[in-house]
Amino acid sequence: MQTSIEWASLARTFGLFTVTAVAELLGCYLPMLWLSNKGNAWLLLPAGISLLVFVWLLTLHPAASGRVYATYGAIYIATALAWLWLVDGVTPAWTDIAGVGLALSGAAVIAMGHRT
């Protein structure tokens, strides 16, 4: 049975992954704006910084890198769909929500599984 401390650790990990996903999305979104002529080249500076932060954040996890990346992938999917809604103004479909639920369930199994 998971204790409240273990659940708090899991919540911190998922929170860190969410911040990591936002850094990655921002680091890719800003150059896309520049390349599509919706912004100027100065967007590349915060994009580069954001990608550096993204890589640094991935180093903060003590688990094996493959497990970290597998779990992060699911959090990235959820964050990308939130981005779709909040930044792009597109409401996710029920299939998007179902897919996020499946991905997050898999991430939870991976994240909790290595603790046993």
The mean predicted confidence, pLDDT, of the chain is 88
Q: Is the pLDDT of residue 99 over 70?
A: yes
Q: Is the pLDDT of residue 56 over 80?
A: yes
Q: Is the pLDDT of residue 27 over 60?
A: yes
> pLDDT for 28-54, tens place per residue?
999 999 999 999 999 999 999 999 999
14 three-class SS? helix
d(CA 49, CA 61): 20
d(CA 101, CA 96): 9
Question: What's this model's pTM, rounded to 2 decimal places?
Answer: 0.80
d(CA 83, CA 39): 19
Q: Which of 54, 46, 63 is nearest to 111 (CA)?
A: 63
Q: Is the pLDDT of residue 63 over 90?
A: no
- Mean pLDDT across 79-98: 96
